[in-house]
Structure 1
């Protein structure tokens, strides 16, 4: 059930489809009809070759010899290349070095590309790549976070954020608890796998069709690998069939390999990964090992906290430095930690290099404090929601452990509203009564909040450009640096432009993101796509409008203040002119009808040495209340109902935003329940497809799901039309399901024990948690027979 704010339909006298109103995704009908073209749907150019790579079979080894003669002689093979054939840079690390385009003497994970093949068919390239004979000298691998922590084996230095004197606060607190949690990783499992199509240009450059969230990075790295200026490479992204962060850096490697083969052969090259190769070869959400040490009083109020988050980064830095930073920034989630220390470790392992995934470390960081909230509640025999509410950020308790002051205090109001609308208190009593009478099935309930910072933590990425063109018939063409991966960014920015000129949305067309239209773009990530590109597009519109207003005032003999744009018309004094006619008149009088726009996020900074700063422009907030039922004989469970109240500010498109909230919640629920990445003892990924890796199905959606946008919460910051980002924050609403599962298990000990439950909370882990809880309850009955029912 969706509940949209009032007044979302366009009023008479207003253009259709302006920002703040519902509008369909611009490609919705193309998706439904199968007309939307992805990389593998593009017409194949003449002479197209297909790429594949040969993989390392060792987690950590020295390559002693590589015999590729059988690969080269396979029918249909045109070229085989190794790292020795790279004319330019061999390292394509996005921030720090460590990612070879093809491995050389040393391999550092099973599945690492060591050579590439171009053949006349996809099948021939894949079969040929399997014929290589590689001799390895195995080297000792490090495969787990625990081993990396023990050896202090890191891809980047560790980092600490601290406020006050947490050690003293912990020592002085009336109560103290410690705990730990293993948080599993997650495969992106986008519908469209990694793919690209690279065509050589007539002047020695390359045109790259890429399924990437960061076309400018693809452009730059392809140029560097080929040893040519960046202007010799153009990259284009029309759409992706899902990204979720998995195409922020990972797409560049494919483009570089395909471009290298295109350079060697002089032919266009397509490179697409099978699902199994995609899962083995590309990075995932970091799994984390987290610990907490918290001190608190009888009311559950935190006095001090010492938190540690350790991410398994894989063999290279990739984006792990910033990802672990964000886990540290969000280790407080929605709660005032008081005197606090947060330490983050970037653990190196000989596994595929993990990468960005929706939330970018924030979800993993939040998990440890949410565990602590539940554990404190069980320890004090309080409702977990009571403990959470008492510790929420609010006035007077509003400075984070990294020194940023929270200026908009929506959390207490938001949680109170959801508590009431979800009927939490009555359901809590009903569920407790149900569990006392039901020996096999147990129900659980949890209401968890989120506070998520919006901005890239790398300051230079907080910028965007746009290009707006108005044609003589009044139609408008828009191009910006954001990429469309199904999230509705294109339609939102089009709505911004339509609103700027007060014309129907149908007049605005958004074209494919291209590096030769808007240069040096930031990735579409960090939930900032609408914020950055919307403001850049609005800036371009305002520049055009300034010229049009000046022209109208002169042409119609009125003051500039008397010129306004409304309902597909331009009003100048007492005259009204149709928009298209006015644009034609302006063109005939040689008035500029195009402009670029630019935006840089203000106010943000972070001193890494001090661990203090203002890294986020603002925070998005939300809360979810989930109810589950668990079969204590099998460990299986169902989510029965979820109520969500989410803060989207002044939403640009409520229907699109609610769709993002629904999808984000389900993806977060899947991360914490069914999606399990399993590795062998040698570092081989064993879950390489839908038969072994289980994303949520439609049947896993709560049958009763109620999503509402928080009313009257415009962003106090100067974002585009006071909206707030909606991409990543909803994923963390899935934490409510994990907490509800713990609540159900805790009922086996009359809610006096907080069960351990690593994620994903598979039925096997649920059974283990229930066995541990029953054992604790039995021991308590033996020691204190009158205190446990």
Structure 2
């Protein structure tokens, strides 16, 4: 298009490149060990290794720092502190507060980087980093949301308030109302590949940085500002990551910048790879939240008004907290219409790691809160929670507008839920669960829940909704692509291959995607928000169609490109067929450009944060899950017996990859909502800093029966590439059916008379405590059939 943006309208009828099997493009390399990650790259001659010296208090002033023993340790080449940073001492790009690369004058969390050791060998650097002698003037730390609220300090970032209607009047006139508080825990990313960077000095004060990052553009910006260099002097390259989940969006800048500082200072390559304990200690997590709410509703279970305040633990710097908290506020509706609502976020400073992006980016916390008050209503009224959910679904007309004033178009949620209710046999199984609980005298109780998910797709920061690509066709007819998205195992490169192959009518073997690099595609936005394919796939389409138009003009001047066919390695013209490679060679000899940049910006979105209203999302995805559990009410231990999932992905570009994302997202959500508990001790030290103390789901934690379905009939009504929908983040929230089922099992001990109060993660300890609470309430309440 003349303004440089991609043609936005794809009908969805264009066929995706189909072959007998389309596995992940690096699958063979992964399983054979030939996939190159940063730590697999051959180290250039003279490579040095860095390690970070960490603070051992959570808050206080640095009175003195004696690093003589560090510098004298065997193999040490240099010791660097904040004084050695020539430019900006911050790991945050502009607009996200200050996050010191190396502490300067004071410490704000236990494990904060204080100094950098550079040595000939990695183990020498690690040993030396523990020899520093630091004198502190300690101060009492603020470690959690409760302490931060008590302290009453100014928020670390501006919160968001969204309003619709007269909430006070709605609550006052509601036939029923209730209030409550819910805690939603954080989560460690626990990527397979840890944080890592390799910085190589080049001539004329340039640097090449290999970083495991979702945002090479941010790494480039942070390194350049730190070294007082222009951005064009810093190149960042990313071939692949071994998992990221948001933990490699902003946090990799810490490690890349420190490696770059040493490389620039010493004029030698420097690698920085912290061990797992240090990685978990230094880096931010999923934000934990406390949600205070009051809700009004009718005797039929329809919500009339909501007032909710969401408190987020930011940690010691802003990082991405504002955006995460914003999305949480925008997702407290989940699938439900609120006639009157006020939702507000508050971003609290604490002396802990700076929390950051995590798969779902605030959406899981907001949706978890919504499901809590739905269950409060259901148990208060003695209704099936699914029925209460249905009665509050978004509908048509006035009931089809969110609390932030965006219309919910293409709403297929009821169909998704109806289909899953039928295929999971929910009603019969629920009746069976209730009969089992009422008929047993033993400690085992069962629960079942069916939970819907509506999730918005796009960044609320409008400028981030852009993608770019560089596409080159070589004389032999092969195609080479570099785009702004990064591959972290989710399969974006495979989908990009399919999109390009489909556009040119070529087999996948003729298309190759290379590393993401800032010196090929500049000004990248992070690969996050499930938007990698949406943004960069459309940019590839734009670039491909520019080249196709040039080729079409060569063989049929004046004929619209749409009337020239590209299929099966040939180009169909009015005069007949010509081989694609032959036409490309002809184009080269006719001096026709065979490379193009592609660009895409998301249409139809707008957001006024100050007013708390707009349409921040291009479209919504819909899904539902049904889980059944068995709980030992004497120990709190439980097993997930069965989970059924139905997820909307629009017109799937790669069904196998989408199924993998759904299963992986669900399991990661299962860990977040049940077993993964972060724990800081009284001194502010992260106690759960290793696999020995932090429990991610194991293979044995997988539901005994796991049925995953894709809504094959769905096709995105929004103008996305191939009419597909995002799939990376929405499945995380499908795991909320498991805490819902656990809550039902606990509530059975008081004959479902009292709303369960099960905070997340629903660890066995919390489940056991809720079982005890239900028993106590049953004993105190007349007429309630208490469990024996």
Tell me whether 1:457 sits opposite 2:460 in the alignment.
Answer: yes
1:189 paired residue number: 190
Asked whether the 8 Å contact 2:189–2:245 carries over to 1, the reply is yes
What aligned pairs does 1:207-222 form with structure 2 within 5 A after superposition?
Answer: 207-222=208-223
Q: Which SS does the other structure have where 1:23 is aligned?
A: coil
Q: CA deviation at 1:716?
A: 1.0
1:440 paired residue number: 443
Correspondence for 1:416 among 415, 418, 422: 418
Q: CA deviation at 1:562?
A: 4.2
Change (3 A) 1:764 1:785: closer
Q: CA deviation at 1:265?
A: 1.0
1:3 paired residue number: none
Q: CA deviation at 1:344?
A: 0.5
Asked whether the 8 Å contact 1:394–1:412 carries over to 2, the reply is no
Distance in 2 separating the partners of 1:561 and 1:34: 43
Tell me whether 1:111 sits opposite 2:135 in the alignment.
Answer: no
Q: CA deviation at 1:788?
A: 9.3
2:58 paired residue number: 59
Distance in 2 separating the partners of 1:734 and 1:21: 32
Cα deviation code 1:208-227 (max 9, x no counterpart): 00000000111111111111
1:28 paired residue number: 27
Asked whether the 8 Å contact 1:15–1:504 carries over to 2, the reply is no
Change (3 A) 1:345 1:22: farther
Q: CA deviation at 1:322?
A: 0.6
Asked whether the 8 Å contact 2:749–2:786 carries over to 1, the reply is no
1:612 paired residue number: 613
Cα deviation code 1:125-178 (max 9, x no counterpart): 011111111110112321110121233322112331100001110110111111
Q: Which SS does the other structure have where 2:101 is aligned?
A: coil
Distance in 2 separating the partners of 1:644 and 1:576: 46
Distance in 2 separating the partners of 1:468 and 1:201: 27
1:664 paired residue number: 665
Cα deviation code 1:303-328 (max 9, x no counterpart): 00111111101010000011100000
Q: CA deviation at 1:750?
A: 1.2
Tell me whether 1:485 sits opposite 2:488 in the alignment.
Answer: yes
Cα deviation code 1:504-554 (max 9, x no counterpart): 111110000000000000000011100000011100011111111111114
Q: CA deviation at 1:56?
A: 0.9
Q: Which SS does the other structure have where 1:57 is aligned?
A: coil
Asked whether the 8 Å contact 1:467–1:595 carries over to 2, the reply is yes
Cα deviation code 1:5-29 (max 9, x no counterpart): xxxxxxxxx9997179961000001
Q: CA deviation at 1:112?
A: 0.3
Distance in 2 separating the partners of 1:249 and 1:176: 41
Distance in 1 separating the partners of 2:784 and 2:735: 38
Q: CA deviation at 1:487?
A: 0.1
What aligned pairs does 1:367-516 form with structure 2 within 5 A after superposition?
Answer: 367-396=368-397, 397-438=399-440, 439-516=442-519
Q: Which SS does the other structure have where 1:591 is aligned?
A: coil
Change (3 A) 1:48 1:558: closer
2:125 paired residue number: 125
Q: RMSD over aligned Cα, in angstroms?
A: 1.7
Change (3 A) 1:21 1:105: farther
Distance in 2 separating the partners of 1:735 and 1:127: 43
Q: CA deviation at 1:712?
A: 2.1
1:548 paired residue number: 551
Q: Which SS does the other structure have where 2:159 is aligned?
A: strand
Tell me whether 1:365 sits opposite 2:370 in the alignment.
Answer: no
What aligned pairs does 1:719-738 form with structure 2 within 5 A after superposition?
Answer: 719-738=720-739
Distance in 1 separating the partners of 2:14 and 2:297: 56
Distance in 1 separating the partners of 2:89 and 2:383: 57
Q: Which SS does the other structure have where 2:158 is aligned?
A: strand
Asked whether the 8 Å contact 1:287–1:311 carries over to 2, the reply is yes
1:688 paired residue number: 689
Distance in 1 separating the partners of 2:518 and 2:160: 35
Cα deviation code 1:274-311 (max 9, x no counterpart): 01001100000001101221111111000001111111
Correspondence for 2:538 among 523, 535, 539: 535
Change (3 A) 1:180 1:284: same
Distance in 2 separating the partners of 1:696 and 1:715: 33
Asked whether the 8 Å contact 1:15–1:503 carries over to 2, the reply is no
Distance in 1 separating the partners of 2:266 and 2:560: 64
Asked whether the 8 Å contact 1:77–1:124 carries over to 2, the reply is yes
Distance in 1 separating the partners of 2:151 and 2:601: 41
Q: Which SS does the other structure have where 1:157 is aligned?
A: coil
Q: CA deviation at 1:702?
A: 1.0
Distance in 2 separating the partners of 1:338 and 1:17: 42
Q: CA deviation at 1:96?
A: 2.2
Distance in 2 separating the partners of 1:741 and 1:340: 29
Distance in 1 separating the partners of 2:50 and 2:595: 41
Distance in 2 separating the partners of 1:462 and 1:469: 24
Distance in 2 separating the partners of 1:150 and 1:53: 33
Tell me whether 1:773 sits opposite 2:774 in the alignment.
Answer: yes
1:713 paired residue number: 714
Distance in 1 separating the partners of 2:562 and 2:289: 57
1:567 paired residue number: 568
Cα deviation code 1:534-583 (max 9, x no counterpart): 011100011111111111114xx977664211222111114112222222
Asked whether the 8 Å contact 2:552–2:559 carries over to 1, the reply is no
Q: Which SS does the other structure have where 1:156 is aligned?
A: coil
Cα deviation code 1:452-480 (max 9, x no counterpart): 11111211111111011011111100110
Asked whether the 8 Å contact 1:292–1:308 carries over to 2, the reply is yes
1:285 paired residue number: 286
2:138 paired residue number: 138
Cα deviation code 1:196-242 (max 9, x no counterpart): 10000011111000000000111111111111111111000000000
Which stretch shifts more, 453-462 or 232-241?
453-462
Q: CA deviation at 1:755?
A: 1.7
What aligned pairs does 1:37-116 form with structure 2 within 5 A after superposition?
Answer: 37-94=36-93, 95-116=95-116
What aligned pairs does 1:281-320 form with structure 2 within 5 A after superposition?
Answer: 281-320=282-321
Asked whether the 8 Å contact 1:186–1:676 carries over to 2, the reply is yes
2:7 paired residue number: none
1:272 paired residue number: 273
2:344 paired residue number: 343
Distance in 1 separating the partners of 2:298 and 2:255: 54
Distance in 1 separating the partners of 2:348 and 2:129: 32
Q: CA deviation at 1:379?
A: 0.6
Q: What count of residue pairs does the alignment treat as equivalent? A: 772
Gaps of 5+ in 1: 1-13
Asked whether the 8 Å contact 2:424–2:644 carries over to 1, the reply is yes
Asked whether the 8 Å contact 2:16–2:722 carries over to 1, the reply is no
Q: CA deviation at 1:88?
A: 1.1
Q: CA deviation at 1:53?
A: 1.0
Asked whether the 8 Å contact 2:241–2:489 carries over to 1, the reply is yes
Which ranges of 4 or more aligned residues in structure 1 deviate by more than 3 Å?
14-17, 19-22, 557-562, 784-789
Distance in 2 separating the partners of 1:222 and 1:506: 37
Q: CA deviation at 1:188?
A: 0.2
